[in-house]
Structure 1
Amino acid sequence: MPVMTGKTAFMEMLRAEGVEYIFGNPGTSELPIMDSLAQYPEIRYVLAAQEGVAMGMADGYSCGTGRPSLVNLHIETGLANGISLLHHAMDGGVPLVLTAGNKDTRKLAEGRTDLPEMVAQFTKWSAEVTNPDQVAGAIRRAFNEAKTAPTGPVFLSFAFDALDASADVEIIPSPRQYHRVAPDPQSIEHAAMILAGAANPMMLVGDRLGASGGVSQAVELAERLGARVYATSYARMNFPTAHPQFMGRINPVLPAAREVFASADVILAVGTNVFSGFMYFPGGALSPGTRLIHLDSSAKEIGKSEPTDVGIVGNPKLALEHLS
Structure 2
Amino acid sequence: MPWMTGKQAFLEMLRAEGVKYIFGNPGTSESAIISTLPLFPDIEYVLATQEGVAMGMADGYACASGQPSFVNLHIETGLANGISLLHHAMDGGTPLVLTSGNKDIRKLTEGRTDLAQMVAQFTKWSVEVTHCEQIPGVLRRAFNEAKTPPTGPVYVGFAANSLEDEADMEIVPSGQGFHRTAPDPAAVQVAAGLLAKSTSPAMVVGDRLAQSGGTGEAVRLAELLGARVYTTSYARMNFPSGHPQFLGRINAVLPASRELLSQSDVVLAVGTD
CA contact (8 A) 1:29 1:75 kept: yes
CA contact (8 A) 1:207 1:233 kept: no
2 CA distance for matches of 1:128 and 1:255? 40
CA contact (8 A) 2:88 2:234 kept: no
CA apart distance, 1:261: 2.1
Q: Once the two structures are superposed, what CA deviation does each residue of 1:23-79 show, in whole Å capped at 9, x if it has no partner?
A: 001111111101111011111000000111111110111111121110001111111
**What amino acid is the match of 1:241?**
S
Equivalence for 1:32 = 32
What TM-score comes out, normalization by structure 2 length?
0.96
Equivalence for 2:225 = 225
Gaps (5+ residues) in structure 1? 274-324
CA apart distance, 1:213: 1.5
Q: Using a 3 Å threshold, how does the CA distance of structure 1 residues 259 and 158 change in structure 2: closer, same or farther? A: closer
Percent sequence identity is 69
- Map 1:236-255 → 2, pairs under 5 A: 236-255=236-255
Equivalence for 2:205 = 205
Query: Larger relative CO (CA 8 A, sep 6+): 1 or 2?
Result: 2
CA contact (8 A) 1:205 1:233 kept: no
3-state SS of the aligned residue for 1:172?
A: coil
Equivalence for 2:144 = 144
Equivalence for 1:157 = 157
CA contact (8 A) 1:129 1:158 kept: yes
Q: Once the two structures are superposed, what CA deviation does each residue of 1:169-193 show, in whole Å capped at 9, x if it has no partner?
A: 1111111245322222111111111
- Map 1:1-324 → 2, pairs under 5 A: 1-273=1-273
What TM-score comes out, normalization by structure 1 length?
0.81
CA contact (8 A) 2:91 2:234 kept: no
Identify the range of structure 1 (186-195 vs 12-21) with the bigger mean alpha-carbon deviation: 186-195
CA apart distance, 1:197: 1.3
**What amino acid is the match of 1:15?**
R
CA apart distance, 1:266: 1.1
3-state SS of the aligned residue for 1:109?
A: coil
Q: Once the two structures are superposed, what CA deviation does each residue of 1:95-153 show, in whole Å capped at 9, x if it has no partner?
A: 11000011112222211111111111111111111111100000001011111111111
1 CA distance for matches of 2:134 and 2:189? 47
Q: Once the two structures are superposed, what CA deviation does each residue of 1:249-289 show, in whole Å capped at 9, x if it has no partner?
A: 2232333333322332111011224xxxxxxxxxxxxxxxx
Equivalence for 1:280 = none
CA contact (8 A) 2:13 2:172 kept: yes
Equivalence for 1:282 = none
**What amino acid is the match of 2:117?**
E
Q: Using a 3 Å threshold, how does the CA distance of structure 1 residues 235 and 254 change in structure 2: closer, same or farther? A: closer
- Over aligned residues, Cα RMSD in angstroms? 1.3
Q: Using a 3 Å threshold, how does the CA distance of structure 1 residues 132 and 243 change in structure 2: closer, same or farther? A: same
